[in-house]
Amino acid sequence: MAIIKSKETSLNIKWIKNLIFQIVAFLTCIASVYAYVYYKNIYISLIIFVVAFIGIIHFHNRSKIYKYGIQGEKAVSKLLCNLSNKYIVYNDIIIGGKEKGAQIDHLVLSTYGIFCIETKNMTGTIIGGEEDSEWIQIKIGKGGTKYEKRFYNPCRQSRGHVNAIKNFFRHSDFKVMPIYSIVVFNNNKYINLKVQGGSTTVLKSENLIQFIESKREVLITSDKLKGIGKFIDKGRW
């Protein structure tokens, strides 16, 4: 079993904060009704009610997104546990500081290299190229309606995380080391990848462990790997 150094927390925190905002918006709706009853000002009460109701819908939709993301990260975290104890796994780690650092879904250390993993919990057909600014998600709705959604290219996102890792180590003894950029999609049965890869590997979660374990050339010594782990533990946020 892999050595797990941290668990996913940031999306949980965002979900809790979002839930609090949703409760506040709901209470504001109720307060607007009481305001009308006591002060008989329908215009102000109506404006407050509408704004609060829009807030409820907004925060409710964001809650669903966070919950879906949490499910995806937990699924990949569970998969990474199946690696041997030759691998060190950091889930949901911030590299480079809380303000300007990169929040990385999963970071795997090994003597075979470092694996920087960006997780996407999506369904449908995904279309895009590594250098595109946006990718396209095509889904079929419940009524059979086909619709498209554009989202930021996760390859660029993952490469940005790799650069953050390199910057984090630039003044250390570990500034030169192999880092693999990976984008992994969950929902293997419900995802169809039509993407053009390159320096970033894009795959389904069912192929993630196989890809990591396919890298068998020792590129980092055991002592250096321990040093990298200690450096991360000391300086991560």
pLDDT in tens, 29-63: 777 776 666 666 677 777 777 777 777 777 666 66
Q: Which residue has the tokens 């250096």?
A: 224
Model confidence at 177, pLDDT cuts 50, 70, 90, reads confident
User: pLDDT tens-digit profile of 57-94?
Assistant: 776 666 666 566 677 778 888 889 999 999 999 998 88
- The number of folded domains in the chain is 1
| pLDDT surpassing 70 at residue 9 | no
Q: Which of 22-26, 154-158, 160-164 has the lowest mean pLDDT?
A: 22-26
Its pTM stands at: 0.76
- HSE-CB at 136 with a 13 A cutoff on CA atoms is 8
Specify the pLDDT at position 147: 84
| pLDDT surpassing 90 at residue 115 | yes
Torsions phi, psi for 2 (to 5 deg): -65, 155
Domain around 75: 3-235
Q: What's the mean pLDDT when you consider all of the chain?
A: 82
The DSSP-derived string for the chain is: --EEEE---HHHHHHHHHHHHHHHHHHHHHHHHHHHHHH--HHHHHHHHHHHHHHHHHHHHHHHHHHHHHHHHHHHHHHHTTS-TT-EEEEEEEES-TTT-EEEEEEEEETTEEEEEEEE---EEEEEETT-SEEEEEEE-TTS-EEEEEEE-HHHHHHHHHHHHHHHTTTSTTSS--EEEEEEE--GGGEEEEEE-SSEEEEEGGGHHHHHHH--S--S-HHHHHHHHHHHHHH--
